[in-house]
Structure 1
Amino acid sequence: MEQQRGMTHAPGGGRAVWRALGYLRRYRGETVGAFVALLLASGANLAAPQMVRLAVDEGLSRGALSVVRAAVAGLVGIALVRGLFNFLQGYLAERASQGVAFDLRNALFARLQRLSFSYHDQAQTGQLLTRLTNDVDQVRAFVGGGVVQVVASLLMVVGCSGLLFLTHPLLALAALGTIAPVLWVLRQFMGRISPMFGKVQATLGRLNSVLQESLRGIRVVRAFSGEGREAARYGRFNEEFLEHNLQLIRIISSHFPRVGLFANLGTWVVVGLGGWLIFHERLSVGELLAFNSYLGFLFMPLVSLGFLAAQMSRAGVSAVRIFELLDTAVEVVDRPGARALPALSGRVELRDVHFRYAGGEREILRGVSFEVEPGQLVAILGTTGSGKSTLINLIPRFYDVTAGAVLLDGHDVREVTLASLRSQVGIVLQDAMLFSGTLRENIAYGRPEATLEEVQAAARAAQAEEFIAALPQGYDTVVGERGVGLSGGQRQRVAIARALLTQPRLLILDDSTSAVDARTEAEIRRALDALMRSTRSTAIVIAQRLSTVRDAHLVIVLDEGRVAAQGRHEELLATSALYNEILGSQLQPDSVEAA
């Protein structure tokens, strides 16, 4: 099972299951009702053999038809009572278990939403999906039916054992002697089955990861004719998953026939010794029948406990995986005493910033320092891997600096609340991620209460209004998962409109116009200029076009995690060889039409 950075030491399966049972506290009524119904159903089960004994010994042997009728009526009544309370027990237990699953899924999703970027950089999506689906379902199955069945089985074992001794102590000792081999077989079974469940869940997670990657990258797969390779890769993990499940079946099929053998041995002992006692008038036929019924009742819960032990083991493995995720530390959190960030004027300062990714040996940023004044447009350029995207991710505090400080209007971003910080920073990431829903909902994601007129104004500023108006349903057009159905440039413009709608005082654009043509990029730039003039917003842009750096108030040139040069375009042309090299190799020239 994979180990994720930040996870606390995983508790044992038993402790994890016990912790999962704590979620039943919210469903005390259903839980108590299920156990009461279970007690009554178990009592009805234990009363049934006494009706048989009464019918044989007091009715049939003496020719008392009324006694037989009374015993039959008693059996019918017991069956009705047992059916009613079994239904109540199953219904209430399932309601409680579904509630536990509901709470676990919500808790897991909430935790995933809060976990730091550093966790998601390393986590596999398929593994996370397995925890929210299959692992939760395994815990739900045991918490709902398993726990109740364990209690029912234990009650039946205790009750049947007591009634066996009450019926005939000598016969009870002989019968219980055959149980010792059953317990030995079940102990062996548990020792072999528990590790297998961990392998099954881990393999299922890897299988889901391969599936998720293949579906997400289906266009790349098709483009490089990789269908056969992906099918083979999925097949390898699927074969491993099949083999682990077959091993589980082999373990079960090799142990439980032996349990059945020893159970039959107990029946042979009871019939043989019981028959001898009947012939010597030390036991009645009705008592023997009742005794044999109780012995069957005793073996059935023992076999059930074996299966339930396996189910508990599987639930324990899943519970460990669930609580590993729930206990994962959130690295970027509000510090004690963090205060709300006042309304920004837009001044940004990076002071000797160092940064290293979790688990990485190389520093991505090494002593980066610069200042940005309110209302300025700042263009960031750099060689490949110089830390451009990393730098802008530190400003809204997606990561915390390893050393140094990021300051907004003089406030260290680590000393203010995350909500107040990110509510004043608009960011458009390189991957223009859209959600399934309407275009209006996507644009208004940061301000769900925004009016249609405000949404349209943001779309107009992002040069998205024209293509949205041409769609059949306009702003009510539903886009597919991750914006399927829109071009890359259209997705980027919607993402820019989403950021503009929040009216940020600081706007960060991470290569966000790379998928639009030069004319559209120029129109977006004019809209951003108007926004910056009207609100004095500060904009930090990872530049892809010459016009961006030419118009910028400040250009930052990064090289191997350091600031190699900074200044205006004309200054850097005259003083920085690296800047000139980047201009010639990386930036896209403006088209004649855009100019």
Structure 2
Amino acid sequence: MKKKYWLRLLPLCKDHLLEALLAIFCLVISAASSLAMVPLARFISEAFGSLTLEKLNLAVSLAILAYFLKYLFAYSQNLLIANISLQVVAKLRSRLFGQILSLSLDFHRNQRAGEVASRLVSDVSLVRDALAFGFELFPNGAILIGAIAYLFVINWRLALFSLIGIPLVGFAINQFGSRIRGASHQIQGKIADILAYIQEIISGVLVVKGFGQEKAEQARFDLINDRHFLATFRGAQIQALQNPAIATIQIVAFAGVIWFAGWEILHARLSTPDLFAFGAAMGVAIDPTLAISNAWGKFQLASAALVRVYEFLDAVPSVQEKKDALSPESSQGSLVFDKVSFSYPEGERKVLENLDFSLPPGKMLALVGPSGGGKTTFANLLLRFYDPSEGRILLDGFDLKDLSLDWLRCQIGYVPQDNLLFRTSVFENIRYGKPEATLEEVIAAAKAANADEFIENLPQKYDSLLEERATNLSGGQKQRLAIARALLRNPKILILDEATSALDNESETWVQESLERLMRGRTVIVIAHRLSTIRNADRIGIIQDGRLSELSSYEELLALYPKMEKNLESGLIR
């Protein structure tokens, strides 16, 4: 099962074939240099039997050359491998990020931000470690095989005896590997818990401080952190035990080999130079064995992480674009909801039920109703963040499912209550939906949104950097930037989701004036409760329990519900 995930990484490696070949060449030279220590040990033993200055100089020079070549090519090999593994992992992380962005809104509703961040950062980094160690399996495997071959050449009886420990070493590596894999899965889950908690608390630090809950949150964090520590320490215990356990098996086996070697010498079946060469071959085999064991442990850690990565990469968006999706040349902004019902994938209750109405181009529809009645879900369906469970939505006669998602969302300007502004310049925030916009176009949109005046008073004007969550701007200023961003796209349809509900009267006046400019000549859907926002709507709908109970003009609704105006002002209908 794990093997197929590793094989799926091969396409990411295809652009690095030359580097891989160079790395393999370096691996071969480095491995050959290590194996050269075995005949060199025999030569040194023989040289010391009849030592001359020439033989001494030659022996020392050969040893220096062998070690120099080994570490020179090991350095080159490590550099090449690091480059390959880093680039492959960068591609994997980029593909994972793109996949996360492409997944539908229901996926993001069910995932903690920390869990997503953990898979993007921590899990992918473990894969990188395994790739780097994986390359080391080849030279170390070659060195180990070569050393074992030398053992048989020198003395096959002694070689067979020395191999008794190999099955025990293999068994130990496999047992440790399975335990490391299980520990890794738990560790990555605990890391996700920490990241999710940090993201939640940092984003809500004003609430934490406002209610004086710093100590309580510290206690909660310490509890989560302790769980991570315990999981990580259990994994560290397994890894810490792995090499000593394997080394102990090797030492016991080596002691047995020394005894058996003495037995062979006593029976004149092994010479002293052969013993030196045999000991050198055994010594050469120890480091690769430990390295393979370590690499296998890293591989098990990364296998658990790679499964988590591919859980996201294999996720299928619930909202998908057709291969032959349409991108009409223009849009009029005519909307039809044809018996539309909707319930969330994880729920049975219908959030919206049997919505059946049309909205001509250039008209304004205001939606009011109690919280949780389905107003925002209405906007999400129009943006095709979700598809209706029943019925269909038409734009200019086209079913939304038949339209290109990019084209559809280019026709819609969306101004929610809590606009997200990014930690970049004012200029980049305004042109976010139209990256090719010029400075002149951005300034024109800002002026239309009543934002130019306060922008010009900022230290760097349009180049001024916003702080995280734009905390250096007021609520009204943030909303006007969001309106400028929507204006710049020049959409045919505009969705205003409680766009003025959190503003004071002065800010609302500025924003309301901006909205009136924004709404001219467009099909507008307003989700609101303030009279100033909905009074001029062509039609007003009341959504309660997912049903559109009324669809009339403001005057008609006022005649039907004399207390509606008072209820709207007091917030009873929202």
State the SS of the aligned residue for 2:367. strand
State the SS of the aligned residue for 2:503. coil
Contact 2:35/2:147, CA 8 A, preserved across alignment: yes
Q: Which of 471, 477, 491 matches 1:490?
A: 477
Distance 2:326 2:95 in 1: 27
Q: Which of 518, 523, 537 matches 1:552?
A: 537
Root-mean-square deviation (Å): 2.0
The equivalent of 1:416 in structure 2 is: 403
- Hey, which bits of structure 1, 4+ residues long, moved more than 6 A? none
Q: Could you report, residue by residue, the CA deviation over 1:504-562 in whole angstroms, capped at 9, with x for unpaired residues? A: 111111111223333543444444444544xx211111123112222111111111000
Change over 3 Å in CA distance of 1:438–1:175 after alignment to 2: same
The equivalent of 2:319 in structure 1 is: 332
Contact 1:461/1:528, CA 8 A, preserved across alignment: no
- Structure 2 residue 78 is matched with structure 1 residue 90: yes
Q: Which of 536, 551, 559 matches 1:574?
A: 559
Instruction: Please give the TM-score of this superposition, normalised by the length of structure 2.
Output: 0.95
The equivalent of 1:406 in structure 2 is: 393
Aligned residue identity for 2:539: L
Distance 1:447 1:587 in 2: 38
The equivalent of 1:5 in structure 2 is: none
- Structure 2 residue 181 is matched with structure 1 residue 166: no
The equivalent of 2:116 in structure 1 is: 128
Distance 1:205 1:479 in 2: 28
Q: Could you report, residue by residue, the CA deviation over 1:211-257 in whole angstroms, capped at 9, with x for unpaired residues? A: 11111111111111121221112111211111112112222344433
- Structure 2 residue 34 is matched with structure 1 residue 45: yes
The equivalent of 2:233 in structure 1 is: 246
How many Å apart are 1:421 and its aligned residue? 1.0
The equivalent of 1:102 in structure 2 is: 90
Q: Which of 206, 216, 238 matches 1:229?
A: 216
Residues 378-417 of structure 1 aligned to structure 2 (within 5 Å): 378-417=365-404
Contact 2:165/2:253, CA 8 A, preserved across alignment: yes
Change over 3 Å in CA distance of 1:438–1:63 after alignment to 2: closer
State the SS of the aligned residue for 1:368. strand
Distance 1:532 1:199 in 2: 52
Q: Could you report, residue by residue, the CA deviation over 1:259-283 in whole angstroms, capped at 9, with x for unpaired residues? A: 2222122222232222333344322
Q: Could you report, residue by residue, the CA deviation over 1:333-352 in whole angstroms, capped at 9, with x for unpaired residues? A: 22132111341222111111
Runs of at least 5 residues in structure 2 that lack an aligned partner in the other structure: none
Residues 55-94 of structure 1 aligned to structure 2 (within 5 Å): 55-57=44-46, 59-94=47-82
- Structure 2 residue 532 is matched with structure 1 residue 543: no
How many Å apart are 1:185 and its aligned residue? 2.5
Distance 1:472 1:173 in 2: 80
Distance 1:532 1:128 in 2: 37
The equivalent of 2:309 in structure 1 is: 322
Contact 1:21/1:143, CA 8 A, preserved across alignment: no
The worse-fitting range, judged by mean Cα deviation, of 390-399 and 163-172 is 390-399
The equivalent of 2:3 in structure 1 is: 14
The equivalent of 2:99 in structure 1 is: 111
Change over 3 Å in CA distance of 1:463–1:229 after alignment to 2: same
Aligned residue identity for 1:340: S
Aligned residue identity for 1:391: F
Q: Could you report, residue by residue, the CA deviation over 1:317-342 in whole angstroms, capped at 9, with x for unpaired residues? A: 11111111111112222213211134
Instruction: Please give the TM-score of this superposition, normalised by the length of structure 1.
Output: 0.92
How many Å apart are 1:68 and its aligned residue? 3.3
Contact 1:364/1:387, CA 8 A, preserved across alignment: yes
Q: Could you report, residue by residue, the CA deviation over 1:344-390 in whole angstroms, capped at 9, with x for unpaired residues? A: 22211111111111211211001112221111122110112110011
Runs of at least 5 residues in structure 1 that lack an aligned partner in the other structure: 1-11, 590-595
Residues 175-574 of structure 1 aligned to structure 2 (within 5 Å): 175-533=162-520, 536-574=521-559
State the SS of the aligned residue for 2:529. coil
State the SS of the aligned residue for 2:107. helix
How many pairs are equivalent?
Answer: 574
Contact 1:545/1:588, CA 8 A, preserved across alignment: no
Contact 1:427/1:507, CA 8 A, preserved across alignment: yes
Q: Which of 115, 138, 141 matches 1:151?
A: 138
Contact 2:369/2:573, CA 8 A, preserved across alignment: no
Q: Could you report, residue by residue, the CA deviation over 1:10-61 in whole angstroms, capped at 9, with x for unpaired residues? A: xx3333233234422221111121112111111110011211211212x221
Aligned residue identity for 2:456: A
How many Å apart are 1:184 and its aligned residue? 3.0
Contact 1:462/1:497, CA 8 A, preserved across alignment: yes
Distance 2:357 2:566 in 1: 22
Distance 1:358 1:334 in 2: 19
Distance 1:40 1:82 in 2: 7
Q: Could you report, residue by residue, the CA deviation over 1:286-308 in whole angstroms, capped at 9, with x for unpaired residues? A: 21111112112223322222222
Distance 2:337 2:509 in 1: 29
Change over 3 Å in CA distance of 1:101–1:245 after alignment to 2: same
Change over 3 Å in CA distance of 1:43–1:571 after alignment to 2: same
How many Å apart are 1:401 and its aligned residue? 1.1
